[in-house]
Amino acid sequence: MGIAERKTKEKTELKALILAAARGLFLERGIEETSIRNIAEVIEYSPATIYLYFKDKDEILHELHSQGFQEMGSRMRELMSVSDPMERLKELGRVYLEFARENTEMYDLMFIAKAPMHFLEKMEEHNWSEGKVAFDFLLNTVEECIAAGRFAGHDPCGLSFMIWSCVHGMVALEIRDRCKGISNENPDIIFRGAFDAFIKIIDVL
For the chain, list the domains and their CATH numbers: 1-54 (1.10.10.60), 66-203 (1.10.357.10)
pLDDT at position 4 over 70: no
176 confidence band (pLDDT: 50, 70, 90):
confident
φ/ψ region of 149 (left if φ > 0, alpha if ψ in -120 to 50, else beta) reads left
Q: Output the pLDDT for position 168.
A: 97
Q: Output the pLDDT for position 100.
A: 95
Q: Output the pLDDT for position 7.
A: 73
pLDDT at position 12 over 80: yes
Between CA 55 and CA 28 the distance in angstroms is 23
DSSP 45-78: S-HHHHHTT-SSHHHHHHHHHHHHHHHHHHHHHG
Nearest to 202 by CA among 101, 91, 98: 91
Q: Average pLDDT for residues 143-165, to the nearest whole number?
A: 97
Q: Average pLDDT for residues 182-191, to the nearest whole number?
A: 79
φ/ψ region of 44 (left if φ > 0, alpha if ψ in -120 to 50, else beta) reads left
What are the CA-CA distances from residue 64 to residues 60, 67, 175 (Å)? 6, 5, 19
Select the more confidently predicted residue: 185 or 82. 82
43 confidence band (pLDDT: 50, 70, 90):
very high
pLDDT at position 184 over 80: no
Question: pTM value?
Answer: 0.91
Q: 155 with 96: CB under 8 angstroms?
A: no
Residues of the chain above pLDDT 70, percent: 98
* 146-153 long-range Cβ contacts below 8 angstroms, 24+ apart: 147/85, 148/84, 148/85, 148/86, 150/85, 150/86, 150/205, 151/205
Q: Output the pLDDT for position 129.
A: 95
